[in-house]
Amino acid sequence: EAQVTQNPRYLITVTGKKLTVTCSQNMNHEYMSWYRQDPGLGLRQIYYSMNVEVTDKGDVPEGYKVSRKEKRNFPLILESPSPNQTSLYFCASSPDLALSYNEQFFGPGTRLTVL
């Protein structure tokens, strides 16, 4: 089944404890992206990747890191989480660089709470 997977689905952690949220897609997509979703603010892009080893900042990159060592994986790293990073996180992928005309496929989401 073609899909985007994320792990963990739910995570409660404490301030300052490094964490990684994994994202994997099995559709051979070039483009991958991370969003956070907060009430009243909608989906905001954190980082995106056009291809392996190519990543760039989105609209809200502060406090996050990403890497794209393999085409299928795009982990999101929070080196020192803070309470304002409590949010619902979505990973998404898209077939190719011509994003304008391509659907983004979303993972199931990761609900993160930072105490």
Please enumerate in sequence order all residues whose Cβ is within 8 A of that of 61, keeping only pairs 6 or more positions apart, or say none.
Answer: 46, 47
**Among the listed residues 48, 64, 93, 112, the single contact to another protein using CB under 8 A:** 48
Question: Minimum CB separation from another protein for residue 40, in Å?
Answer: 6
What distance in Å separates the CA atoms of residue 27 and residue 33, rounded to the nearest whole number? 14
10 sits near another protein (criterion: CB under 8 A)? no
19 sits near another protein (criterion: CB under 8 A)? no
Q: Tokens 């792990």 appear where?
A: 7
Q: Tokens 């304008």 appear where?
A: 100
Binding site for another protein (CB under 8 A): 31, 33, 35, 40-45, 48, 50, 56, 58-59, 90, 97, 99-101, 103-104, 106-109
